[in-house]
Amino acid sequence: MRYLFTAILLSLSLLSGCATTNQRVLDSGDETQLQKRSYQSRIFETADKEKVLRATISTLQDLGFVIDRADLMLGSVSGTKLDGHQIKITVSVRPKGTDRMLVRANAQFNITPIEDPKHYQDFFASLEKSLFLTAHAGE
């Protein structure tokens, strides 16, 4: 009986060491989802989804990313950049009305979401230049 009591006491003390912290897995952080979406998204004046996806792939490659996946049907492109650290980005493209495309980018530095709007502005500026060059080069 004494061994049983000791075993139970030992088990309870070990289990109490396994308590988890209160983590919110789907935490939106300090910013609202609408605020994040506003700097992670841009609308382009074209109805050509394939053209936007191709320009996205080119832009990511120009920025040093290796394309992991690209899917025209889903309208998504994922890439990884290894430069002493890991940056992952996923870009989705979907129609917005009949003559525009909504492009949304989501990036991570290692496993931390990138939330600085400047990085997204830089990406969209590069994508805009790529779309402009593609449209005027006749590609």
On whether residue 27 sits in a domain, the answer given is no
Instruction: State pTM to two decimals.
Output: 0.74
Please check whether residue 69 lies inside any domain of the structure.
yes
Strands 112-113 and 66-71: what pairing?
unpaired
pLDDT in tens, 89-132: 999 999 999 999 999 999 999 999 999 999 999 999 999 999 98
Asked whether residue 33 is domain-assigned, the answer is no
**14 is a domain residue:** no
Structure tokens at 124: 């969209």
Task: Please check the confidence at residue 62 and state whether its pLDDT lies above 50.
Answer: yes
Which pLDDT score is estimated for 84?
84
State the total domains in the chain. 1
Amino acid at position 103, single letter: V
Encoded tokens for 94: 């979907």
Q: Which CATH number fits the domain that encloses residue 105? A: 3.30.310.80
Q: Does 68 reside within a domain?
A: yes
> How many CA atoms are closer than 13 Å to the CA of 63, on its beta-carbon side?
24
Mean pLDDT value across the chain: 83
Cα radius of gyration rounded to whole Å, the chain: 23
CA dihedral 91, 93, 96, 97 (to 10 degrees): 180
Rounded alpha-carbon distances, angstroms, from residue 101 to 17, 32, 34, 49: 51, 23, 18, 7
Please indicate, yes or no, if residue 6 is contained in any of the structural domains: no
Q: Which domain holds residue 132?
A: 40-137
∠97-102-106 over CA atoms, to 5°? 155
Q: Is residue 8 part of a domain?
A: no
What are the pLDDT digits (tens) for 20-59?
444 445 555 566 888 888 999 999 999 999 999 999 999 9
Residue 126 located in a structural domain: yes
**Residue of 84 and 102 predicted with greater confidence:** 102
